[in-house]
Structure 1
Amino acid sequence: MSIDKKCQGCGVKLQTSDITKLGYVLDMNHDLCKDCFNLKHYHKVKDGIDTASMPVIEENALVVYVLSVNHISERLKYRLDRHFYGSEFILVINHIDTLEQSVNLNRMIHKLREETNRLQMKWLDIVPVSAKTGKYVNELIETLAYFQRNRNIYLVGYQNSGKSTLFQKIAQTNNIDVSVLAGKKPGLTQDLFDIPFGTKKLFDTPGIYLEGSIAEYYPFEIYKDLIVEQKIKPTIFQLNESQSVIIGAQAIFSFLKGGFKGISFHFNKSVSLHRTKYENAYELFDKHKGSLFKPYNETHTYVKQTFKLNQDTKYEITISDIGVIHIKGDAIIEMYYLKGLRLTLTESLY
């Protein structure tokens, strides 16, 4: 007789037949699968990424789109109004604790509203939060209660957007115990978790896969130190034309034309930043990759791309989950980076 039981940490169906597959336990007396047990007790995770797609939810729900500051350049990748028929939407900007205090959140929210209005999208509200510290979580709970209107609420977002941490924080604020686990590994949540909320329920859903994550290139013990999850003090380089900044072994930023500019690099201290002349950059990188410039894997390949930036526009270049470069046009820049690594160039929101 089979027992249909789910892991209390990630929601995957537990099984005893294959140790290499998700949900493995020695026996059905366990409440956590092998991977969640190792995460909870030893802070170890299994490498690899689950390429989950958009979650399936009921119609006419209240959808809370949890968007990390790290993924804000990918905010329009999916039109949620076309995926979740009849639903209404609240946008939550998470990880605001990683931003500098000088960042004007009201300005960011205003620009987001202008952008989505042009696209005829509508947010019931836009709420900045830090799920990690709890900042503005009470305000979010009040917003959810106001707009719930006898509907179930679903937290939806990319992997590593902080949905499960936010779910935990909301549950904690409402004095509810939950077992769902959260961490830096993308795709930890495998199934729906729910808690009572108002007249219905609040659901945590599996994260949506976003290609080009740094987790696709390195094992967990390496990439966990590269992901931005704390406040970053930017490094500002005053660059002349034909100067480059080597960003670990992940990328080279080259400032080809544009006079003399101050350019800010928002990366954590685990990512080395090295300024050099453009004419020396690639030779220097090849000579020292794996030693001065790391982490490096000799199987990785790189691609090169050139961008022309318009005058009087402030841009942000987002390199996967590991950092952001802010630069104001008029300029021509060149990016050399890991092939397949997510790199986006957008107008800056802050």
Structure 2
Amino acid sequence: MNGTDTAPVCSGCGAELQTLDAARPGYVPASALTRSPAVCQRCFRIKNYNEAATVAVDQDDYLRLLGGIAATRSLVVHIVDVFDFEGSLIGGLGRFVGNNPVLLAVNKVDLLPKAVNLNRIRNWVQQQAKLAGIRTVDVILFSAKRGLGMDKLIDAIERQRSGRDVYVVGATNAGKSTMINRLIRDYSDLDNEVTVSRYPGTTLGEIRIPLEDGASIVDTPGIVYPSRLTELVPRRILGALMPEKPIKPLVYQLNSGQTLFFGALARLDFAEGERQSFTVYAGAGVKVHRTKLERADALYEEHRGELLTPPTRDELADLPAWTRHSLRVPAGAAKDVYISGLGWIAVNGSGGALLDVHAPKGVKVLLRDALI
């Protein structure tokens, strides 16, 4: 399909059918186009295998979709990734959902170091959401992949929705589809409902999954935020950036004038400050290399994509050039240097520091209150 006005639409969700991109709404293998009625791959999987697949839309389309939620009477469940919190948080969500309550579901807590205090994490999330202007009725920490905390999430949804529809919103790679799949298995009446009825929806790929009381779980597409490194790198190295097991922090004692490289994806320069420790929270596939600041530029030019990986030298050509972010850590403050999609670096010293962070242009880099 080429996306023309005459293209057929999915009889399940109403999305315009296309055969070019499995990550976009309405995807159908070319071999399935002759089926009648024509159904997109995501609807087919939900109906036949109780399995939802992630699709993605750009920000403008997604914001139009969000704007329609304000006119509904529903509960909004916002899935965020604790490993990439700021990168997966939908900014200004309250403007789009109106008076509908927002339940913040924080996924992938199984990736945090085992000794972490989850109550502290929950308090941190509440504070960060408040700073972002998101008013929440509850915050639930869970792992969709491991099933941890899913019972609490389901209880919170039932307690807060009061018979209303449930809109599930979130960014790509936040684990939304995995959570939806668990809700389908544990919470919906698919055998009695879905197999005999079409999935009402929109051309953006919204899908309604019926519940026993007549309401629905509304699965929306994942929003693409190009400010995350995971949206920019080649698909091959996503596994290196996105941890599968609990993060093992790496501690470095640095003097001013030293640099940490994170593969060839980013670097942190300790420009000014007393000797102090920096704790790196990143995926095990990201190789951290320490050097002197005075040698950093030459080292990058000579060894990027080889000693400094991922990515390879050939793959670097597809990434934007680096830009520099200067961050000043106040004395006595517990702060994280956050690089969206890569992880964060906790600054552990009490004497303050001036840091320069280099990352591909457009990637979100900021200083935040320490998560751990």
Q: TM-score if structure 1 supplies the norm length?
A: 0.82
What is the CA distance between 1:115 and its match in structure 2? 5.1
What is the CA distance between 1:66 and its match in structure 2? 0.9
1:331 matches 2:331: no
Question: Residue by residue, what CA displacement relative to the aligned partner does 1:263-308 show, whole Å, maximum 9, x if unpaired?
Answer: 1111222211101111111111111012111214235411112111
> What secondary structure is seen at the aligned counterpart in 1 of 2:143?
coil
Aligned with 2:270 (options 255, 273, 276): 255
Aligned with 1:271 (options 283, 286, 301): 286
Q: CA RMSD in A?
A: 3.2
Q: Report if the CA contact (8 A) 1:49-1:215 is conserved.
A: no
2:206 maps to which residue?
191
Aligned with 1:131 (options 120, 141, 144): 144
What amino acid sits opposite 1:158 in the alignment? A
What is the CA distance between 1:247 and its match in structure 2? 0.7
1:141 matches 2:161: no
Q: Report if the CA contact (8 A) 1:234-1:266 is conserved.
A: yes
Matched-pair identity in %? 24
Give the whole-Å Cα distance in 1 for the aligned partners of 2:131 and 2:229. Answer: 32
Give the whole-Å Cα distance in 2 for the aligned partners of 1:166 and 1:159. Answer: 13
What is the CA distance between 1:323 and its match in structure 2? 1.8
2:255 maps to which residue?
240
1:13 maps to which residue?
16
Give the whole-Å Cα distance in 2 for the aligned partners of 1:133 and 1:72. Answer: 19
Q: Report if the CA contact (8 A) 2:77-2:166 is conserved.
A: yes
Give the whole-Å Cα distance in 1 for the aligned partners of 2:227 and 2:130. Answer: 28
What is the CA distance between 1:242 and its match in structure 2? 1.1
Give the whole-Å Cα distance in 1 for the aligned partners of 2:335 and 2:305. Answer: 30
1:290 maps to which residue?
305
Question: Residue by residue, what CA displacement relative to the aligned partner does 1:67-124 show, whole Å, maximum 9, x if unpaired?
Answer: 1113323476522221111201111111101101222221122234345557775321
Q: Which runs of 4+ in 1 moved over 6 A?
A: none
> What secondary structure is seen at the aligned counterpart in 2 of 1:257?
strand
Q: Report if the CA contact (8 A) 1:59-1:86 is conserved.
A: no
Give the whole-Å Cα distance in 2 for the aligned partners of 1:285 and 1:206. Answer: 38
Q: Which moved more, 1:108-117 or 1:162-171?
A: 108-117
2:370 maps to which residue?
348
CA separation of 1:244/1:6 partners in 2, compared to 1, >3 Å: closer, same or farther? farther
Aligned residues: 327
Q: Which runs of 5+ in 1 are unaligned?
A: 38-44, 180-188
Q: TM-score if structure 2 supplies the norm length?
A: 0.77
What amino acid sits opposite 1:109 in the alignment? R
Give the whole-Å Cα distance in 2 for the aligned partners of 1:170 and 1:49. Answer: 20
Give the whole-Å Cα distance in 1 for the aligned partners of 2:308 and 2:76. Answer: 42
1:164 matches 2:177: yes
> What secondary structure is seen at the aligned counterpart in 2 of 1:67?
strand
CA separation of 1:49/1:82 partners in 2, compared to 1, >3 Å: closer, same or farther? closer
2:326 maps to which residue?
306
1:51 matches 2:58: yes
The structure carrying a bigger helix percent of its residues is 2
CA separation of 1:310/1:333 partners in 2, compared to 1, >3 Å: closer, same or farther? same
